């Protein structure tokens, strides 16, 4: 998918016009909950070995590389487990993660613009949460950048809290200022985590 305004790769679909837009041409608006179009959620499953070409394509499309720095470690998404959302045979989105001793690191989370607005990120996060419970780890952690307001929205809506802000960390890593979402300069690393409640506690409150 290409941006409606130039030939850059599209990251988002405009919720008003339906146009695909790149980071430069995306903007943020507040809408009321009643105006959201509700489409059925897409099915999600664990990635299989034959899915890794698609995972590589997603990583290259949105990040330009398959290696990601996350919580002071470098991961290659081609060597990590992942969950995928599908629309028919098409991959709609991907969550790549690393299982650590006491937590799951969400290393990459992307939903293709044509499948946004269907709670796909949430479906993928729900799978990660299920995995954490199955592996008896109590935290999901993720890093994002100061400009990535859609990501900060999704994670905080899903119960993540900001645990650390590293001012200038990404700027330092890149060595120069890059424009991010809506041309906001990418500067700071923001770390978030979600503590999972014990299953019995969860059951008791539901
Ligand atoms: Zn554009």
If asked whether residues 107 and 10 sit together in one domain, one would say no
State residue 113 phi and psi, 5-degree precision.
Answer: -55, -35
Pairing of strands 67-70, 73-76: antiparallel
Q: What is the whole-number distance in angstroms between the Cα of residue 17 and the centre of ligand 1?
A: 14
Share above pLDDT 90 across residues of the chain, in percent, rounded to a whole number? 84
If asked whether residues 66 and 158 sit together in one domain, one would say yes
pLDDT of residue 206: 41
If asked whether residues 125 and 24 sit together in one domain, one would say no
If asked whether residues 108 and 173 sit together in one domain, one would say yes
If asked whether residues 150 and 92 sit together in one domain, one would say yes
Protein residues near ligand 1, an ion, with CB under 5 A: 3, 5-6, 8, 22, 24-25
Q: What is the whole-number distance in angstroms between the Cα of residue 2 and the centre of ligand 1?
A: 8
- Reported pTM: 0.91
- What are the pLDDT digits (tens) for 124-139? 999 999 999 999 999 9
If asked whether residues 105 and 12 sit together in one domain, one would say no
Q: What is the whole-number distance in angstroms between the Cα of residue 80 and the centre of ligand 1?
A: 31
Q: What is the whole-number distance in angstroms between the Cα of residue 119 and the centre of ligand 1?
A: 24
Q: Which residue range(s) make up the domain with 16?
A: 1-33
Count of domains observed in the chain: 2
Q: Which string of DSSP letters, residue by residue, matches the chain?
A: -B-SSSSSBP-EE-TTT--EE-STT-------GGG---PPPPPEEE--GGGHHHHHHHHHHHHSSSEEEETTEEEEGGGS-EEEEEETTEEEEEEEEEE-SS-EEEEEEEE-GGGTTSSHHHHHHHHHHHHHHHTT--EEEEEEETT-HHHHHHHHHTT-EEEEEETTHHHHHHSS-EE-GGGPEE--EEEEEEEPPPHHHHHHH-
Q: What is the whole-number distance in angstroms between the Cα of residue 106 and the centre of ligand 1?
A: 27
Q: What is the whole-number distance in angstroms between the Cα of residue 164 and the centre of ligand 1?
A: 31
If asked whether residues 151 and 57 sit together in one domain, one would say yes
Q: What is the whole-number distance in angstroms between the Cα of residue 37 and the centre of ligand 1?
A: 24
If asked whether residues 200 and 102 sit together in one domain, one would say yes
Q: What is the whole-number distance in angstroms between the Cα of residue 24 and the centre of ligand 1?
A: 5
**Vertex 191 angle, CA 187 and 193, to 5°:** 160
Q: What is the whole-number distance in angstroms between the Cα of residue 195 and the centre of ligand 1?
A: 37
If asked whether residues 89 and 15 sit together in one domain, one would say no
pLDDT of residue 205: 44
- What are the pLDDT digits (tens) for 148-206? 999 999 999 999 999 999 999 999 988 999 999 999 999 999 999 999 976 554 444 44
- The domain that contains 108 carries what CATH number? 3.40.630.30
Q: What is the whole-number distance in angstroms between the Cα of residue 21 and the centre of ligand 1?
A: 5
If asked whether residues 98 and 191 sit together in one domain, one would say yes
If asked whether residues 73 and 167 sit together in one domain, one would say yes
* Residue partners of 5: CB distance under 8 A and separation at least 6: 21, 22, 24, 25
Q: What is the whole-number distance in angstroms between the Cα of residue 190 and the centre of ligand 1?
A: 25
- What are the pLDDT digits (tens) for 45-57? 999 999 999 999 9
If asked whether residues 75 and 125 sit together in one domain, one would say yes
């Amino acid at each position: 998918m290409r941006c409606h305004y130039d030939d850059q790769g599209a990251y988002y679909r405009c919720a008003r016009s339906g146009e695909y837009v790149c980071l430069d041409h995306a903007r943020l608006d507040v809408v009321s909950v009643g105006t959201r179009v509700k489409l059925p959620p897409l099915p999600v499953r664990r990635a299989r070995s034959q899915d890794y070409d698609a995972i590589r394509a997603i990583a290259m499309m949105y990040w330009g590389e398959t290696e990601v720095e996350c919580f002071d470690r470098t991961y290659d998404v081609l060597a990590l487990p992942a969950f995928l959302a599908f629309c028919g045979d098409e991959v709609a989105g991907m969550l790549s993660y690393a299982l650590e001793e006491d937590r799951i690191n969400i290393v990459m989370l992307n939903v293709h613009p044509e499948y946004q607005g269907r709670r796909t990120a949430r479906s993928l996060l729900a799978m990660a949460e299920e995995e954490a419970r199955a592996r008896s780890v109590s935290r999901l952690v993720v890093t994002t950048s100061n400009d990535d307001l859609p990501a900060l929205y999704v994670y905080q809506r899903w119960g993540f809290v900001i645990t650390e802000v590293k001012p200038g960390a990404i700027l330092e890593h890149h060595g120069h200022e890059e424009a991010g979402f809506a041309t906001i300069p990418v500067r700071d690393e923001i770390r978030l985590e979600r503590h999972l409640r014990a299953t019995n506690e969860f059951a008791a409150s539901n």
